[in-house]
Structure 1
């Protein structure tokens, strides 16, 4: 059983928590150039990172994620910064911690840990041991900067999730993890949403929460959420979906989600059993503020069906996991709904 920590304490107090919105999208709006590493801004433009965290706290976020998604040596090597892993992660954590500490209420600082970008043996050259080592290096910086939890996110491969979970345990941080179910309702490496709970349950004291983030559109991630909460109704499940559906307009990516749509997404996520609800790509502070109001004014409704989600949020862009070779969960939901 997971031990007590700031995240589980706040969950026990509030029941449902609002996580923040997009990091990358909002930093691009603040001047980040395509191909530039957001993590370098922790030292080059700390005031812009502070402003992003502050804006999310002002919008009502209970959890803010550090600007460290690409903070492993493998990602930073692309920017010749692989020798600065500890310092960049520590600085990011310190920036977020300072904002959280001045919030006037409890705000959780989650250390964002994204995939290395490498494939593990046998598909690629990265060994499991080296993956653990890289995640330990990153998490030591995050812990030194004061994060409350290691937030392992946007993962595709089971062994990479396990390596990151093992690193968190070695460093002494509680951890959560989320998959990105962006390939016919599963992760790129074939993980089914209903199987997310068991991926790393045997590592350390187990995850504090698991779930889904990013992926395709908001309807698709809610479909994944239904599978996850049906498989383990009592688990603490995270959903952090993209703001509507991403579309290219010329060379720019545009997200279709409006604040009212993201408010409805938040209500549906809560109806579907999520305990930690936030936004991913495209989610601005304006969207998050609407989600805060939706959760604060929440009136329980029946568990939604896929059809209700599509009706309220828009069409699915992917097959569901059950359609692409999973179980018959969708059919069961339809009959029950």
Structure 2
């Protein structure tokens, strides 16, 4: 273990990641349909403000503004030839913020899905997916990212292609999938299946886990599924700040900072070592999460009932693994939720 993230993981029993990228940028003026990655060049001050907000709130890791910065996604904006360049700039801005933090802060180069369906069901071949991910990885590496961070992946084939691409780039990486369909990814992957896939990779990630999805309760149930597999590889939990609601022309997430603090502690006790937020998670949420993680002792692993008591019911009766048919669903249990 020689990379910056691995060294930090050796010294700490939990690390805090950042929160939302899109939600924060929309609050800064990003319009729906625009490519956030263009702001790396057009509004670098706003991107650095995004990064700085996470650092000031106590994050040990923040993700670069490059989630949709691959050639496939940028093609929608006639910018596919700029994938490496825009990713490089996102990491350069992150490097500037992290190097001034006064403490170790990890710049994680965000890599999102291509937006294409992998062959044989769709047009994206393995070879092309590797090429797309490799191009973005090289840009993030050139910009100074400490680690690559694959996120919101649904298809195992895409996850495997990214792993191969990151090996070509000679970069350490982390990788999360989004479990949003009855405890499975959109392509049917369960928490158990993901762990088995990760452990068979020729180039496995430093840490793996779940991000986004339906809500905090569902995400923590997935984390419990990871932990039940008994693998020592660090687990990542990046849950949304509640459930999205459309109010006054904007999407609003109903999770309060205080409840995100509860989520963070519960995520740690479920077995996650890297804990952050996803959609709707703002700096004030992160501050409460950091405060809770720093001040509250580690507790026993929560039960499904304890999760729903604090964060609300699950969106489905089970997560596709084991017998969880008696788990409270969101319709039945909604006392409080993040």
Change (3 A) 1:319 1:114: farther
TM-score, reference length from structure 2: 0.94
Gap regions ≥5 residues in structure 1 = 333-337
**Aligned partners of 1:195 and 1:228 also within 8 Å:** no
Aligned: 1:213 with 2:208: no
> Which residue of the partner structure matches residue 317 of structure 1?
315
Choose which of 138, 151, 154 in structure 1 pairs with 2:152. 154
Deviations 1:199-250 (CA, angstroms, capped at 9, x unpaired): 2434444210000000011111011111111113522000000001122336
Q: CA deviation at 1:254?
A: 1.4
Choose which of 247, 250, 254 in structure 2 pairs with 1:249. 247
Aligned pairs (5 A) from 1:1-337: 3-249=1-247, 251-322=249-320, 326-328=321-323
> Which residue of the partner structure matches residue 335 of structure 1?
none
**Aligned partners of 1:169 and 1:204 also within 8 Å:** no
Q: CA deviation at 1:329?
A: 6.2
- Whole-Å separation in 2 of the counterparts to 1:169 and 1:234: 22
Range with bigger deviation, 269-278 or 189-198: 189-198
- Whole-Å separation in 1 of the counterparts to 2:317 and 2:253: 20
Q: CA deviation at 1:299?
A: 1.0
**Aligned partners of 1:244 and 1:261 also within 8 Å:** no
Deviations 1:181-202 (CA, angstroms, capped at 9, x unpaired): 0001100000001222232434
Give the aligned length: 327
- Whole-Å separation in 1 of the counterparts to 2:130 and 2:145: 19
- Whole-Å separation in 1 of the counterparts to 2:51 and 2:297: 29
Q: CA deviation at 1:68?
A: 0.3
Q: CA deviation at 1:316?
A: 1.5
Deviations 1:238-292 (CA, angstroms, capped at 9, x unpaired): 0000001122336422111001100000010011010000000000000000000
TM-score, reference length from structure 1: 0.94
Range with bigger deviation, 159-168 or 194-203: 194-203
Deviations 1:2-48 (CA, angstroms, capped at 9, x unpaired): x4311111011122100000000000000000000000000000000
Range with bigger deviation, 6-15 or 157-166: 6-15
Change (3 A) 1:330 1:175: farther
Gap regions ≥5 residues in structure 2 = 328-338
Secondary structure, aligned partner of 1:199 = helix
**Aligned partners of 2:164 and 2:203 also within 8 Å:** no
Moved over 6 A (4+): 329-332
- Whole-Å separation in 2 of the counterparts to 1:68 and 1:123: 27
- Whole-Å separation in 1 of the counterparts to 2:107 and 2:185: 26
- Whole-Å separation in 2 of the counterparts to 1:163 and 1:205: 10
- Whole-Å separation in 2 of the counterparts to 1:320 and 1:263: 25
Q: CA deviation at 1:103?
A: 0.2
- Whole-Å separation in 1 of the counterparts to 2:126 and 2:14: 34
Secondary structure, aligned partner of 2:199 = coil
**Aligned partners of 2:153 and 2:177 also within 8 Å:** yes
Deviations 1:49-98 (CA, angstroms, capped at 9, x unpaired): 00010011000000010000001100000011101111100000000111
Secondary structure, aligned partner of 1:283 = coil
